[in-house]
């Protein structure tokens, strides 16, 4: 059994996990910083970096304890080294390098976005294993920082085909939630409010870009929501004075317009490349409406789809350790010069 310890510090979650043989999650410990950043309405990089430094050692100890592993039982150390907030990445990369050097274990750098595509292949139930996807596979990552499509030839050969040209879908959800007075982070609250609304009550723009494009754009949709709430005369109206049904309709119509391009771009990619499976990951993959759209596309093309359990949708270290297993098997091992890279 191959045990890999992984460390995640890309943004505002500090996480550590131990995963065996690329699928069995022995431990998955996550410490969220939401309360630290809530009053600012977004992540403050300096605060996030300091919190990682304060909590990471304790989380590594907790992950090993829950996994009933000692340092000597580990076969490799994995870490998210890109993309992310560079100050946050440095904390995790430095810790991983130190462990790899001290334990004489391989160091495996992981692209955090690629790791989200692995979330659907993790399990915390011993006694079996999860089936791997058929390649080539179509990957979709939907999160606060990314809305991207990937061509997966294998788990060690992943190439981006399309991405957002401005805001990511998760950012659009959070900013629209803030406009509606739902707090931060507000994606989940917006989805819940949308269930009470009429998605066809407002005709918000659906951005598809060029007819052949696999890219995404969400800045216009977010602006359309703001203008709608301000009214035709451009005079701001307090959210508190609007009927609750009105706000629910706005949430539902926004969600429909945000998710619609996902289905269109998935179909375009499937028609163009003939993928044999679909993989989905990222925080917004927890959205039930988005999951329904992805399943519809998979059914239309008669291919299997892998989506993560809710525990593995948002940032976590288990997905890093799972993907690292395949990189280790392929001999993709990094040196102690592994850099922390903010953008890729």
134 upstream amide cis, omega within 30 of 0: no
Domain residue spans of the chain? 3-126+311-329, 137-303
The pLDDT assigned to 296 comes to 98
- Angle at which helix 187-194 crosses helix 169-179, to 10 degrees, equals 70
H or E element in which residue 37 lies: helix 34-37
* Phi, psi angle pair for 141, to nearest 5°: -115, 120
Rounded distance, CA 139 to CA 136, Å?
10
Rounded distance, CA 325 to CA 21, Å?
7
Q: In what order do the strands lie in the sheet with 157-163?
A: 157-163, 147-154, 137-142, 277-281, 305-306
Please state which of the ranges 25-39, 151-165, 189-203, 325-339 shows the lowest mean pLDDT. Answer: 25-39
Same fold, 3-126+311-329 and 137-303: yes
**pTM of the prediction?**
0.93
CA distances to 36, 241, 290, 324 from 160, rounded to whole Å, are 33, 44, 20, 19
The pLDDT assigned to 238 comes to 56
Is 340's pLDDT higher than 80? yes
Answer yes or no: are the C-beta atoms of 325 and 5 closer than 8 Å. Answer: no
Alpha-carbon torsion, ordered 141, 143, 145, 149, to 10 deg:
20
What pLDDT, in 10s, does the model give residues 307-322? 999 999 999 999 999 9
Question: What CATH topology corresponds to 3-126+311-329?
Answer: Nucleotidyltransferase; domain 5 (3.30.420)
SS3 content of the chain, % helix, strand, coil (to 5): 45, 20, 35
Is 235's pLDDT higher than 50? no
What are the E-state strand segments in the chain? 3-8, 13-20, 24-32, 76-82, 107-111, 137-142, 147-154, 157-163, 277-281, 305-306
CA distances to 7, 83, 216, 246, 255 from 169, rounded to whole Å, are 25, 17, 9, 22, 10
Among 311, 307, 284, which Cα is nearest to 295's?
307
Write the CATH number of the domain with boundaries 137-303.
3.30.420.40
The pLDDT assigned to 239 comes to 61
The pLDDT assigned to 213 comes to 97
Quick one: pLDDT band at residue 129, thresholds 50, 70, 90?
A: low
Query: How much of the chain exceeds pLDDT 70, in percent?
Result: 96
The pLDDT assigned to 240 comes to 57
Rounded distance, CA 212 to CA 275, Å?
17
């Amino acid at each position: 059994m191959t045990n890999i310890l992984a460390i995640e510090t890309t943004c505002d979650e500090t996480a550590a996990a131990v995963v065996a043989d690329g699928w069995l999650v022995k431990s998955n410990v996550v410490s969220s910083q939401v309360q630290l950043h809530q009053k600012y309405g977004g992540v403050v990089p300096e605060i996030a970096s300091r919190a990682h430094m304060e909590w990471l050692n304790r989380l590594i100890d907790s992950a090993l304890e829950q996994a009933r592993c000692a340092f000597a039982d580990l076969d490799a150390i994995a870490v998210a080294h890109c993309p992310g907030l560079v100050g946050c990445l440095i904390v995790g990369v430095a810790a991983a390098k130190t462990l790899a050097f001290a334990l004489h274990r391989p160091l495996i750098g992981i692209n955090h976005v690629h790791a989200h595509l692995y979330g659907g292949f993790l399990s915390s139930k011993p006694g079996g294993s999860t089936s791997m996807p058929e390649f080539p596979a179509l990957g979709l990552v939907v999160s606060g920082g990314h809305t991207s499509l990937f061509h997966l030839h294998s788990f060690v050969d992943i190439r981006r085909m399309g991405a957002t040209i401005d805001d990511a879908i998760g950012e659009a959800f959070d900013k629209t939630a803030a406009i509606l007075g739902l707090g931060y982070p507000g994606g989940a609250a917006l989805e819940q409010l949308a269930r009470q609304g009429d998605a066809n009550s407002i005709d918000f723009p659906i951005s598809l870009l060029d007819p052949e494009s696999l890219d995404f754009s969400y800045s216009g949709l977010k602006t359309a929501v703001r203008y709608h709430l301000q009214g035709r005369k451009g005079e701001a109206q307090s959210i508190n004075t609007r009927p609750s049904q009105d706000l629910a309709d706005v949430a539902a119509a926004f969600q429909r317009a945000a998710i619609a391009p996902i289905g269109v771009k998935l179909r375009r990619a499937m028609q163009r490349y003939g993928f044999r499976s679909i993989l989905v990951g990222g925080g917004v993959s927890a959205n039930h409406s988005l999951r329904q759209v992805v399943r519809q596309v998979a059914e239309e093309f008669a291919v299997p789809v892998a989506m993560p359990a809710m525990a593995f949708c948002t940032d976590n270290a288990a997905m890093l350790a799972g993907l690292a297993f395949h990189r280790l098997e392929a001999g993709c091992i990094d040196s102690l010069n592994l850099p922390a890279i903010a953008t890729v």
